[in-house]
Chains A and B, each alone.
Chain A
Amino acid sequence: MSVQALFFAAYRDLLGTRSLSVELPEGATVADLVATLRGRGSPFDSLPAQPAVAVNRAYALLSEPLRPGDEVAFIPPVAGG
Chain B
Amino acid sequence: MIHTALVKGPIDPADVLARVGAPEDGAQVLFLGTVRNHAEGGRVEGITYEAYEAMAEEVLTQIAREAAERIGTDRVAVVHRVGELAVGEHSVAIAVSSPHRAQAFEASRYVIEEIKKRLPVWKREQYADGTAGWVAGMEPDEGSRRAAPEGARTPPVERSRARGGERTAETRR
Contacts and interface: CB of A to CB of B under 8 A. Distances in A.
Interface of A: 4, 6, 8-10, 13, 16-21, 52, 54-61, 63-64, 69-71, 73, 75-81
A78 B118 contact: yes
B137 A76 contact: yes
B124 interface: yes
A63 B49 CA distance: 30
B163 interface: yes
Interface of B: 33, 49-52, 54-56, 58, 80, 91-92, 112, 115-124, 134-140, 144-148, 153-157, 159, 161-168, 170
Given A19-B168, A52-B145, A69 B156 contact: yes
Contact of B136 (A17, A21, A77): A77
18 contacts: A6-B52, A8-B50, A9-B50, A16-B167, A21-B165, A52-B140, A52-B145, A54-B52, A58-B58, A69-B156, A77-B137, A77-B140, A78-B117, A80-B51, A80-B80, A80-B122, A81-B91, A81-B116
